[in-house]
Amino acid sequence: MEYNIYCDESCHLKSNNSDYMLIGAVEITKKKRLLNFRSLF
């Protein structure tokens, strides 16, 4: 079974006075991704 993994991060910058960084990911099977993508159109 093949999976697609989508990642994103919210980076912290010295100029925004935040000490935190968040990293997230979503995993979905390739078959479900194709079905969901096709349903958009």
The pair phi, psi for residue 17, each rounded to 5°, is: 60, 35
Question: What is the reported pLDDT for 12?
Answer: 67
Name the percent of the chain lying above pLDDT 90: 5
Question: Can you tell me the mean pLDDT for 6-21?
Answer: 79
pLDDT band at 24 (very low <50, low <70, confident <90, very high): very high
Residue 40 clears pLDDT 80, i.e. is over it: no
CA distances (Å), origin 6, targets 18, 19, 24, 25, 41: 24, 24, 8, 5, 21
Instruction: Look up tokens 């010295």; give the residue.
Output: 14
- The structural domains of the chain, with segments of one domain joined by +, span 3-38
Model confidence, pTM? 0.51
Tokens of 19: 């000490």
